[in-house]
Each structure stands twice: as C-alpha cells, then as structure tokens.
Amino acid sequence: QVQLVQSGGEVAKPGASVKVSCKASGFTFTSYYIHWVRQAPGQGLEWMGWISPNSGGTKFAQKFQGRLTMTRDTSISTVYMDLTMLRSDDTAVYYCARDFPGRGSDYWGQGTLVTVSS
C-alpha cells in the first residue's frame, strides 16, 4: 500500500534550519511528484512547493524562495524539505503529499511538527 512516512518532530531556534524527511513506499518513487504543505497551529493549509523525484527539479511558492530547498535520494525513496532562517511563524505541522497527475494530492504523510522557539 502507498505510504509516506515522515521524520519526527523538531525544535529549532530562530535563525536556524530544519530538515524534514519523507520516505515513500508502495509505489514507483520516481513516477510521482511530492508536494510539501504546512499548517500553522489552528490554521489552514499552505502549499510550499514540489519536487520531482525523477529529475530533482523543484518549484516553490514565492514566499519561500531563498529559504526552501527540496532534495531527494532515489536509493532510499526519500525526499527532504529543508527550511532555513527559521522564524516563530514557521512553527507548523509540515506534510508531504503525493501528486497524482491531474488529480491533486492523493496520499499524505502523517505530518511533522516543527516548533521554532528560543
């Protein structure tokens, strides 16, 4: 069965960086884009960007340009989301989600809570 399993919660200081992983199984890793979406406490969903596990190509929301990196390791079917220069308003649950072409995000990871606090 399709699964996306994310790394555990993180606590980081303002100005630091965080790297969250998302390990895929149950499907051909290189055939589906992976998106990252975040959700601040009590708030709605915010799309951050996508990565093509096949090519490594990425596309980010404008507000994250310069702070966000997405990479992948095809040998272990894992994508990574790296957010730098953290601020308190980056405190959120971060989700990875599989993109079924033309149908949106059909499978989601369990989420990773990133807390930014001094």
Partner 1 sequence: DIVMTQSPDSLAVSLGERATINCKSSQSVLYSSNNKNYLAWYQQKSGQPPKQLIYWASTRQSGVPDRFSGSGSETDFTLTINSLQAEDVAVYYCQQYYVVPWTFGRGTRVEIK
Binding site for partner 1 (CB under 8 A): 35, 37, 44-47, 50, 59, 61-62, 95, 97, 99-100, 102-106, 108-111
At closest approach, how far in Å is the CB of 95 from partner 1?
Answer: 6
Burial 13-48, CB ≥16 within 10 A → b, else e? eeeeebebbbbbeebebeebbbbbbbeeeeeeeeeb
CB of 87 to partner 1, least distance (A): 20
**How far apart are CB 40 and partner 1 at their closest, in Å?**
12
